[in-house]
Structure 1
């Protein structure tokens, strides 16, 4: 092929890609500003062939300050995608032989962790990471101050445990698993969870943000998005005609204050740092993590994780068989180690896009008005990140047409898939 012809084909491809992206920009803007379900802000990113291929943002970080436009480096509290990132730190500690998936975690914690209904059954890290530990969120999953998490875990509160399913037998999504995971990570390293995750993962990759906003630089706080809902002031009632009300990360008046006692000892209570949902990171930062995963643990010449660790983390640990778990109305069909496996249920309710052929792994998130998605297809080298900074109406009124997601999420993810990752014609 001549150089001239090659150049013409390259120019044609670039023109088509630009046209597709312009059409996608318009489609996503229409979703973000849909009067039926407006979004406080939106930041998305798509990866194709292992590289960032598309990025789009809409809205502002603080709705009363028009100058605070959302960018690809805007930090969001990403909710439960944090669990997947925490699991990457776990895999690093497994590589270092500081943790083992099938050891009784009591050995790490320094006290017996047992379901009172099944005192003879050990609980392992594999069970915690796959939500089969028999722990439940009924008694909460956050304790402030110097309160040791072990006091709660060992007092026999029946609302904290399943009384019918022994450890390892039944899937129930429980945030408390990650409070335990973060605490045992501290126990085996002697490091505070937020600082540990910086050392193991975020700093080596040059990723801004972290699990503890009081430690953020002024520049990082300036890029942090406030999360919103449209609800009546002081109530949990949705009010689409009312104002946007800040729900989390509203630090416009002052820097966040530390809630960690000066006398805190690692291994005491990592719920203070929210390994379950408290990571602040940008779409760009999540894109860096996605690239690292697709590059078999390599990032900019550094080994972050071993290929075997990545394969194990996203391998199937649990699959719904009709009676062995709670799918939460079809949201969960299969699970890895701190990761969701999408598109596994026969009815398709756990898929992300309208095309049932997209079999991705990753995680979803929802908290304080935010909705988030991290989804990667290793086989095809494609992936998507979606961060929604708040909803203007009750999402239950606008359910998905083919999945357990909201209709806004379906529209965004399907548009990204068609225009970028699958590269349909516009």
Structure 2
């Protein structure tokens, strides 16, 4: 059974796609989204990029359940969940290029409004690079759930001290409890520290700095980290309805930790951001992007500076990007291959995992190799049936072990 599962995971566990065949990819993804509408997703916006240019745009569902307006690739805003972290990483790297910080700086040296608790054993050792790569020794695993309408937002300092909008578990703060640089531990709190870092270094609000230095220069004119600004612009109704997993509309949530969890952006905005990884741009230099895409110590080769490394490419680089998921049921993925100029952006409401799964399928189409997450899902899907078969086989062997000698004695006695 083990041999069968191992062989199946190598030869038969891939999605029904022919790597490199664009027609099969387009049809597969569009069919998957169309078939899922109203069953496993409320709305979705998909873009495929080929050789640096937009190849396919497809949307399903409605932008707003009250108006019934369809999803608009240019104007419908999605709350980007943890994909926001990759955009935030660009802001931090912009400060590096501007000479205002160094990646190896202990982050504490730049913070005045808040610092790691005095009893955090490694508080003075955590560097900016380690926060970007989730190796700073934090154990918060935030996970921000956001605040519902009518609930007051915390300040950044309050959130870092005792986060009240945790997505799971009890309210907790952000600490430095493990030796930094040694082990990957996903930390939304680390990115909230980076959000504070940007404000401390620049003297601006995080949203203002990101608007001026990252979003507008990249042409992401509809994107913003500041919800009140979107309201003032009269675009609140452009926010895609937040669906639960049973596809019931849910009130939108708003965040203190916007750098970790809450960029608002359209599909068109995020396509421009994806393309900025594939060609020269006016914000970050090519060698900065290469540095971000380099595996960091303690990550087992899976994370760079602010970006995930999904799969290796033929040149020794990687498919890069970031996924995001948030309450009640948001899931997004942005993945690009700088070697080929290809990419996918998929924004989705009403499902917590489908965008990531289809992103893994795209990586297989792009590279001919499964991501670690896709292979793990395959093994998990086969585990219970395999255990049942193995258990039944063990019982059968046990019964035969006891029954066969008796039958042989009876036969010999006759």
Could you tell me the TM-score, scaled by structure 2's length? 0.69
Q: CA deviation at 1:22?
A: 10
Match of residue 374, structure 1, among 334, 337, 341: 334
User: Which structure has greater helix proportion?
Assistant: 2
1:152 maps to what in 2? 161
Superposition RMSD on alpha carbons, in Å?
Answer: 3.6
Quick check: which has more Rg, 1 or 2? 2
Gapped regions of structure 1 (runs ≥ 5): 1-18, 231-239, 250-258, 260-270, 322-332, 345-350, 352-356, 396-405
1:324 maps to what in 2? none
**1:5-404 pair list within 5 angstroms:** 24=26, 28-34=30-36, 37-110=39-112, 113=116, 116=119, 118-119=121-122, 122-137=125-140, 144-146=153-155, 148-149=157-158, 152=161, 160-161=174-175, 163=177, 165-207=178-220, 208-216=222-230, 217-218=232-233, 220-230=235-245, 240=246, 244-248=248-252, 272=256, 274-296=258-280, 298=281, 303-318=282-297, 320-321=299-300, 334-343=302-311, 359-368=318-327, 369-391=329-351
Q: Is the 8 A contact 1:31 1:411 kept in 2?
A: no
Q: Is the 8 A contact 2:243 2:249 kept in 1?
A: yes
Q: CA deviation at 1:213?
A: 1.6
Aligned residues: 329
For residues 309 and 180 of structure 2, the distance between their equivalents in structure 1, rounded to whole angstroms, comes to 21
Q: Is the 8 A contact 1:41 1:390 kept in 2?
A: yes
Query: Does the C-alpha gap of structure 1 residues 71 and 284 become closer, same or farther in structure 2, counting only changes over 3 Å?
Result: closer
Could you tell me the TM-score, scaled by structure 1's length? 0.67
Gapped regions of structure 2 (runs ≥ 5): 1-20, 147-151, 163-170, 369-414
1:237 maps to what in 2? none
1:252 maps to what in 2? none
Query: Does the C-alpha gap of structure 1 residues 67 and 97 become closer, same or farther in structure 2, counting only changes over 3 Å?
Result: same
Equivalent position SS for 1:57: strand
For residues 70 and 278 of structure 1, the distance between their equivalents in structure 2, rounded to whole angstroms, comes to 20
